[in-house]
Structures are given as structure tokens and as C-alpha cells.
Structure 1
């Protein structure tokens, strides 16, 4: 019975994934085709003495003179064969660049994901325990303010305070400047990672904290908690047996669902800190009209966000039998 359920669950998400990637491909290709930026001019750059005939040959080589539908079909066939093309900006295969940049972005996003989960859950529990008191009011206002502050602004403030004034962290990059890659130590990488990860974690930890607070308040005001307190259970015992157990699942689910926010915020955080990740590469590809790299990163980011949401639903279904029963009846 369980194997049949998981087979149905997997098949349903595979269909959704294919549909999502197809829709993202069409929309992204249309938007890139409508861009006013000339890719040939971006490719040539400031190189002098490029004749009109040479520009025409470059455009013909890339198929820019073909109708958009033909270009999309040709690009789609290449994608199905595992060929994402060659980046015009880096002069390397797109897949190689995505693998290299994603390794740096993954370390940043996982660290920020961990920070936002731990800090958000702890702050949410504090607000829920002190519901209505001054601790709750101050932290709640702080979280609401953080929800409305742009990521790049937080990053700039962190740079000014912790890098310029205090000198605790470097100004940017993922490794020390001038040090060969094979000589960079793990502690140096962590030192360069902490500040951008903290900046990125502020994007979602406030939402996790507010969500956790509301769930904990609902649990502590429920009838079974009031009955437990009436039986003489201590406040810590009530929190341990009833509070934390009931709010852990929504918090974990929200954490996995925040992958899209982290990926979107990484574009801003990586540009502020000059962090060589996938977000900075996407920004550079957009500015340089590097169509193959931009489309490749777009498809990869859509797949990454989809997998994060799928894992959240899977965990919810595994832990909560009622949710799993609802999935079966869909």
C-alpha cells in the first residue's frame, strides 16, 4: 500500500516538474527574445575593427536570424541531449559553469538556511512563550521590520559595520584575495561565508519566527494544554511534550518551502558581497545578454525550487498521517 502511494506521489510530481520546466522554458525564451540588448554587440564588446560582415557571420552562427520558434525548437532539442550551449561571457560550457557556481551558492544557501531555521525557531518560541509581554512585543516589531527590509540593504549595512568599522569579516569574495585556490583553508572559506550567509538568512528567519510564534500560541491556548497545566505539569514539561512537538513540523515544512526565497535573495547577496555564486553569474549573464547561460540558470533554479517544495510536501506527508491520507485522496 505504501509503495503504491509513493509511486503515485512520485509520478504526480514528475508530471508537475516536466510541466513547470516546459512553462519556464517558454516564458524565459520569450522574455530573452524580446530583450533590447544586442547579444552580438555584447559578445564583440569594445573590440575594434569588427566589420558588418563579421557581425552577420556571428549572428548566423548563433542562429539569431532564424525565426524565434525555430530557435526555441533547436535550443529545446539541445537541452534534451544534455547540451546547454556555450556561455558567451565565460567562453565555457554552460553546465560546467552551473556546476562550479552552484557549489559556492549551495554552501551559502545551506548556511543561511541553517541560520534562518535555528534563529527563527528560537525567536518564535521566545515570542510564543512570552505572548503579550514586552519581550514578545519587541521581537514581533523587529521581525515585522526585517520582513520589509531589502536583502541588499542589510548586506550593505553589515559590510559597513562588521567589515569597514569593526574589521571582523572581509569585504567580499569567497576566498582571500591573491591566495591560490589549492592553498585556501576551510577556516578562511568559512570566514568569508559567514557575513553573506547571515545577510541571506535575514530574508526568511523573520517569517519562520512569526509563523512559529502563532503556532506555539495556538498550542499553548488549546484545551489539552490547559488540562495538562491543571494536572500540575510544569511550564517546561508542557512546552517539551506538547508545544515543541506540535510546532516542529510546520517550522520544518516552512524551512523547506523557503528555498525559493533563498535562491532569489542569493542574487542580491552575492552581488553585494562579490560572492562568485550562481546568483552573481545569473546577474552577469543578464547584463551581458548571455542567453545560453541565463536560460540554463533559469531552468536549474526552477528545478532547485521545485525540489525544495517537493521535499517539504514529502516530509509533511511522512510525519503527519492526516496529510498523507489527503495526498492519497487527491
Structure 2
């Protein structure tokens, strides 16, 4: 996820039953997912805060988006990753700034809270929010008023707050590392998103959902076809990186097998290699730094794979972007989401890697 992004307000009123909409927005028919979707369909129309918990990469933002769509709110869905913005900049991003609030503030700027007026503000990784901002956020929730940095007049606000974290906020509140009063404000409606390993029967539905998203994002580009043996191989994996790890595997399949059948052998030999959480030795890392032809992919074959059947042109920038996203995501998984180790593995400056993570919206937690 990027540091922040905004979903335009819905132009169509809700006509489907809430649970049916939740089923369409969130893949999965297992018992635990059906129960979760019934819960969010019930709580969506209310304006009380929602706290979404679950492991990294499990799909918490997708649940937040579904809550927004089911709420009937006409404003925008505004998402911000509290861990992706430096602490010294997060306050201005959230609360906005008035002209002259600090050196270089040459114009007034609405914050993300104001941009969520009439809609939903999604604060991802709220457990990483600095303590000083926790107090200010609590004040906003209590008064429904927001004051920009450098401003004197508070603005009345109407938004729904949805927060998410992979941390145990209850324990953090008891330990004093997260405000207890804010925790109780957020936990009015708690929703737990289970790890993929707890709902492996949902994997075919999730895979189909991701393939549909890929088809919409890259119209005309052929997609891989996963057969029954591939699905069995995928469901045998424990998926420590959850849906995010599955997305990486799917992207790798799209790049290596466009329009081709994928079976258990392709999954084992070509798609799961980067999912191993054990760090490689220096010798293994050096061995991995090979040219395409040394990895068994002659340049002309790589070109034809990228081009796809029946295509006459290639979006080189988009193709290279997909490769870069796949490699960065895989390296993050391998390093346990440690940005510094990932930068060393990819031989990048740490600042450069952070810029790429933000540019491509790659989650690091």
C-alpha cells in the first residue's frame, strides 16, 4: 500500500443485499470468512470506529474497502499507512496545514482527515502512530473537530474511522506503548482477518479474484491457467506471507507463463522459489545474480513470453515495473520485511528502496 490513496465516492446506490456485496468484494467461502462477512455487513451502516486486526498481508485493507462500500457513505475512502510516512510528516498529512505553518508552507492544504469528509478514513498500521499523534487523533474522535497545523479555527468533521494493525494493541495499551483510551475508542467493532493458512479452502477463490484484478489492470494480456495439480500444490504451502505472498507468486506466474497452463511442476520449480523464508548464504546470493540466459531464459524467449500470444507490442515500462515489484516483494518476504536487509540484498541504497516501496505501494509490514 502507498503512504496514502483515495478511492472516489461511489456513484451508484446500494441495491444488492449487504452480505451479497461482501461476498463479491471479499473472496472466500470458508466458514470463518462467511462469519466475518456477515459481521462487517451488519456493522457497516454504523458510524462507530472499526478496528481490523490480523497478520501482515492477510487482506485487512480489502475488508476496510468493503466496509466503506457497504456503509452507504457518499464521501471518499481515504487510506493512509501510518508506518510508511515519517513521524515528523504524518501530522501534516493527517491534519493539514495552513499557510506559514512551517518553513516552505506557502499555501494552505487540507489533510487526509478533511479529505475523508462524508466518507471513510482508513488508518493502516495504527500501532506505529507516534504517541503525540495518538492524543490528537483521540481528540478528533471525541469532538469530531479537526484543526490544521498553524490554524486557529477547528473544522467540524463527519467521517467514519477504520483502523488496522498486525500488532496486539490490547497488550500495547497495557504496556503503555499505545494509549489505552484511544484503543477503547477504536475497538468498538473489532474484526479479525484470519491468516491464509487458516482458510486454505479459500485459495482457489482468492486466486480467481486476483486474476480478475490482473485482467482489469492489464486488458488484453494473456493470463496463466492453473490446473488442479497446481491448486493442490499451492494449498500445500503454509503461506507465511498470506495474500501478499500469493500475489507475488501470481505475478511471477503472469510474467513467466502468460496464456500457458501451470501445473504442480511449474509451481514447485518456477513459482515458489522465492517464498522460502530462510535467508540465503552470500554464495547463494551471488549465484542468484545471473543474467537471464544463465537462468535458462534466453533473451529472445523472454521477449516472446513477455509479449504474449497474439500481441504485437509490449508495454516495456509496465513489464519492468511488474518485475521490480515482484523482486522487491520477494526480497522483503525473505528478509522478514526488514528494509535495510532488503536494500542490501538488492544492492540498493536504503533511501532508494524506500522511494520504490512508496511509489509502487508495496506493504512492508
Confirm or deny a common fold (TM above 0.5): no
Which one has a larger percent helix, Structure 1 or Structure 2? 1
TM-score, length basis structure 2:
0.19
TM-score, length basis structure 1:
0.20
Which one has a larger percent strand, Structure 1 or Structure 2? 2
The structure number with the bigger radius of gyration is 1
